[in-house]
Structure 1
Amino acid sequence: MPDPTPHPLDQLTEIGDAQAPALVLRGGTLTYGDLRSRVSLLAGWLASKADEGARVASWAAKGELTCLLPLAAARAGLVHVPVNPLLKHAQVAHILADSGAVLLMGTRARLQSLEAGDAPAGCELFDEAEVFDLAEKLGASLGPSDHDPHGLAAILYTSGSTGKPKGVMLSHANMWLGAVSVASYLGLERDDVTLAVLPLSFDYGQSQLLSTWYAGGCVVPLDYLFPRDVARACAKHGVTTLAAVPPLWVQLTEAEWTDDARASLRRLTNSGGALTVELVRELRAMFPKARLFPMYGLTEAFRSTFLDPALVDSHPTSMGTAIPFAEILVIGDEGELCGPDHEGELVHCGPLVAQGYWQDAEKTAERFRPAPPMSEYGGTAVWSGDRVKRDADGLLYFLGRRDAMIKSAGNRISPQEIESAALATGLVAEAVALGVPDPRLGHEIHLVVRAGNDGEDGEAMLAKALQRELPNFMQPHVIHWRKAMPLNPNGKIDRNALAQEIGA
């Protein structure tokens, strides 16, 4: 078991060798010595712009600023709020207002897309291209901090099955121990090179950075346009570690991989949805020298389980066992600890459990509850809502979800957020969003609507209206128009009937 002692998050910069490469950017490579000085410089500027505990948001593609902000904000005693660069103004406005952000750093085009009132009063906007120039002009560097490891370090917004995105509160300890845990079970070393293709607004995306830096390795951020860009980057940089979600793995298996693109790969990691047996076999055949790590996680507890690569061929559908610092219990409907092959709810206990939802005591009480009495850790646990079972050998298997979450292309999507956007157009009177299983996407988004007063005109206008208001990954793939919605005995829309009708 790795060292369970958490430290302030910003101390991750102090681990690697000063002359070793830490971050490969388009404009050059930062060594760990550079990383320390640049984090110190950025932290000093941030501290001059906001009081301790304030929230500072970023809305930009991968680059020096977005990669360094998790550590620099923590060093300055601030709370980082990374915003998915794919989101559009309405979702960003909610995150800024909900978090009470006092700074938003983003690309100029994204900042210019904000409408009047999207940024709350008192929130300053800064073009990301100017931030380091401003920091250098100020010249107020900050050294490593001694902040309380249990203090708030970040708020990651994640969609729930109902309503708008919720902010998951992560402490320094959550993020530090998460990095230690992942680096440990993946076996990351100082000569590892991680290709960071996942969004840095996701916990899985941030893990690419933090776990690699904890191990003293090097990160290559990549915003790719085509799957072949990933293969080319692997060849160019000698990538050893590649993380992806199932839809991306499907695309990568269809891309052309040269021998030099595959030669350096040591490990492949997957989360954000289960790998199919067929996809496991394709990955094992394409990358026979790379160890494959299927994983399960949830933002509320970072990561829960991983499957030992030695068991992937014989148990391709298993979630594996608990990662370091996680205790995973299967709890039955009566609160009992489930025995082998008995279905129950996955309950995650231990120091990776987040601090709850930002300013939402009601939803926090629903998901973050006292650990079951048989827990070795005790304290607060995350009751996932996911149904699992454990076999006689201790391996876990996913059975299903209790909620209506849509998982498409690796994104957790709130059905209600899509439905609300459709209703807000005034073109429909009722709307239901459902996920239909799809081998490439995980779920294809289907929207079932009943027309409003505009009738046929609404059919032509709805898709265009949704394109203006929702990010690309939330766009319905299919819109079904109905003259009437099925109702259940309580007079509510019968979502189950609609799901059966369209194969959801």
Structure 2
Amino acid sequence: MSAPPDPSPFPIDHVAERGADRDPALVLKGQTLDFGELRLRIGQMAAWLAQHVPQPGERVASWAAKSELTCLMPLAAARAGLVHVPINPLLKHMQVAHILADSGARLLVGTPARLKSLEAGDLPDDCRAIAEQDALEEATALDPLPPSNADPDALAAILYTSGSTGRPKGVMLSHANLSLGAISVAHYLGMAADDVTLGLLPLSFDYGQNQLFSTWHAGGTVVPFDYLFARDVAKACAAHGVTTLAAVPPLWVQLTEVEWSAEAVSAMRRLTNSGGALSKDLVQALRGLFPDARLFPMYGLTEAFRSTYLDPALVDTHPTSMGQAIPFAEILVINDAGALASPGEEGELVHCGPLVAQGYWQDAGRTAERFKPAPAMSQYGGTAVWSGDRVRREADGLLYFVGRRDAMIKSLGNRISPQEIEEAALATGLVAEAVALGIADERQGQAVHLVVRAEPGAEDVQATLPKLLAKELPNFMQPQAIHWRDAMPLNPNGKIDRTALAQELAP
């Protein structure tokens, strides 16, 4: 590894300033923007946003597939002094309505089909909706805004992520969080100006968004790519000479099951994984497919972006390790007594340092639960994220994941709140009780299972409930199986015994 990177944060809209004017920066369907054109388009979009939302600090949301709009918005909004709220394009109107209302967004830019799917009352009265193509065309007529001089500690984005209970919560990220994240990842991945990153992950996901920032910071090229089948990914890698591929474990499983041409593999320099651990078999399969690529297993949480990575040189000998802290992160393991855990002792992963987010948007209660003063032994001090994840650090300094403290479902790389699924089921009026669980699944990581008790007197419930859930929930939240019960098991406190249900459904 080279010398430590410069730890100086900068306004995130400066992240694309280093690329050479004529070098390709963004490969879209039908056009390629070089860095000179990219900077112009960011400035024009910033000017357009400032016209429509002139008050600094207001929130502006985007809801579209990967496109010029969704790639420009994170930087253009920051340049305009606004706060970007990217919305996962897979979400449906119910989740979008919550995010718009909770964030107080004044503007929503999205694809016409998505905007048309909003129902009465979904769009707040003080929020305008504009089609993405209209926004892009109007912006081209404007003089671009220059790079901002924003305070690196100013709020730049709110990324919504599900909690173990309740609706999605907004994680507040500063310019410094985002710019230091770009520097850190570009450094430890060893990215360069001739790198080509295939952007498979949602740009509403911190892992996906950072692919833009870290690649552009290194002067490289991003190819945003929405795919239907795994074989499409292999073809795209061949067509674009992709050097960097990031995915989550369920997608890696799919990618190892399709044929890869020599052209698709030959340029590959690195593979990165987050959103769940790689199995030993999957590591071996990836090694076989990409013998010359370096494999980077990583661990992160939206509240601190990224926490650890495993040196590729150690993957074969320590395939189940989370590795060690990334640059600008300090990772402590705190035992149940509040002390630094001894080697091999289980404790809670606590992340300290400048990558720690600013808390949850307008949610002081949940912020206080996760964002607490750093332990006394921290070198950074300040505020730390107490992850709720149980880990252990061995004598060699490598970290190992033990388990999650909460009930989150992690399916196909998505963090899903059980309560969101349960609320949607109860809202149909067909069920009296509902419990959503994540059950181990080889392809998905966890599959969503829904256990329900029918509302007395409800008719045709088994046929109707799946149809209503398909309307209200995005695809990745759809239950793989619905289990009907005459009565739910109860624990000694009279609450539904989720543990008993999980054990009953376990494969």
TM-score (norm 2): 0.98
- Listed as ranges, the matches of 1:186-197 within 5 Å are 186-197=189-200
Aligned to 1:460: 463
**Partner residue in 1 for 2:95:** 91
CA deviations 1:4-40 (Å, max 9, x no partner) are 1001111112111111100001121100000111001
2:58·2:105 contact (CA, 8 Å) conserved in 1?
yes
Equivalence for 1:448? 451
Alignment pair present for 1:312 and 2:315? yes
Structure 1 residues 13-162: aligned runs within 5 Å: 13-50=16-53, 51-137=55-141, 139-162=142-165
Q: Could you tell me which residue of structure 1 aligns to residue 345 of structure 2?
A: 342
Looking at structure 1, the residues matched to 448 and 343 of structure 2 have their Cα atoms a distance apart, in angstroms, of 35
Shift of 1:488: 0.9
- After TM superposition, the structure 1 stretch with the greater mean CA deviation from structure 2, 25-34 or 293-302, is 25-34
Structure 1 distance, partners of 2:395, 2:447, is 35
**How many residues matched?**
503
- Residue type of the partner of 2:106? V
Q: Which residue matches 1:416?
A: 419
- Give CA-to-partner distance per residue, 1:417-461, whole Å, 9 cap, x none: 000000000100000000000111000111000111245511111
Q: Is the 8 A contact 2:409 2:415 kept in 1?
A: yes
Once the 2 structures are TM-superposed, how far is the Cα of residue 136 of structure 1 from its aligned partner? 2.3
In the TM superposition, what whole-angstrom CA distance separates every residue of 1:325-350 from its partner, at most 9, and x where no partner exists? 00000000110000110000000000
1:163 and 2:200 matched = no
SS of residue in 2 equivalent to 1:254: coil
Measure how far apart 1:204 and its partner are. 0.2
| Aligned-partner residue type, residue 104 of structure 1 | L
Does the 8 Å contact 2:61/2:107 carry over to 1? yes
1:45-444 equivalences under 5 Å are 45-50=48-53, 51-137=55-141, 139-444=142-447
Contact 1:45 1:140 in 2 (8 A): no
SS of equivalent residue, structure 1 residue 13:
coil
SS of 1:45 mapped into structure 2: helix
Give me the whole-angstrom Cα distance separating, in 1, the residues matched to 2:460 and 2:29.
47
Deviations 1:237-295 (A, max 9, x none): 00000000000000000011001100000000000011111101100111110000000
Find the aligned partners of 1:229 and 1:135 in 2 and give their Cα distance.
32
- How far apart are 1:500 and its partner, in Å? 1.0
Percent identical across equivalent pairs?
Answer: 72
Is the Cα contact below 8 Å between 1:297 and 1:304 reproduced in 2? yes
Q: Which amino acid aligns with 2:62?
A: S
In structure 2, what is the Cα distance between the partners aligned to 1:10 and 1:490?
A: 52
* C-alpha distance in structure 1 between counterparts of 2:201 and 2:473, whole Å: 20
- What amino acid does structure 2 have at the position aligned with 1:169? M
Question: Residue 439 of structure 2 aligns to a residue in which SS?
Answer: strand
* SS, match of residue 119 in structure 2: coil
Distance in 2 (alpha carbons) for counterparts of 1:200 and 1:132: 18
User: Any conservation in 2 of the 1:69–1:80 contact (CA below 8 Å)?
Assistant: yes
- Measured in 2, the distance between the counterparts of 1:476 and 1:188 equals 39
8 A contact 2:441–2:447 mirrored in 1: yes
After superposition, give the CA deviation of every residue in 1:385-424 in whole Å (9 maximum; x if it has no partner): 0000011100000000000000000000000000000000
Q: What letter corresponds to residue 92 of structure 1 in structure 2?
A: V
Q: Which amino acid is the alignment partner of residue 156 of structure 1?
A: L
Moved over 3 A (4+): none
C-alpha distance in structure 2 between counterparts of 1:176 and 1:454, whole Å:
56
Asked whether the equivalents of residues 41 and 140 of structure 2 are also in contact (C-alpha less than 8 Å), the reply is: no
SS in 1 for 2:16: helix
Give the AA of the match of 2:186: A
CA RMSD of aligned residues (A): 0.8
8 Å Cα contact 1:155-1:358 kept in structure 2: yes
Q: CA deviation at 1:499?
A: 1.1
Alignment equivalent of 2:487, drawn from 484, 488, 492: 484
Q: 3-state DSSP class of the match of 2:139?
A: helix
Question: What letter is aligned with 1:115?
Answer: E
The answer for unaligned runs of 5 or more in structure 1 is: none
Structure 1 Cα separation of the partners of residues 332 and 75 of structure 2: 32
For residue 251 of structure 2, what is the amino acid of its counterpart?
A: L
C-alpha separation in 2, matches of 1:290 and 1:105:
38
| Offset of residue 130 of structure 1 | 1.1
Q: Supply the distance in 2 between the matched residues of 1:188 and 1:456 (Cα, whole angstroms).
A: 59
Distance 1:136 1:144 in 2: 17
Cα distance in 2, alignment partners of residues 296 and 133 from structure 1: 39
Q: Which amino acid aligns with 2:159?
A: L
Aligned to 2:256, what secondary structure does the other structure show? helix
Q: Secondary structure at the match of 2:369?
A: helix
Partner Cα distance (1:306, 1:377) in 2: 20
Consecutive unaligned residues of structure 2, counting only runs of 5 or more, are none
Deviation at 1:180, TM superposition (A): 0.2
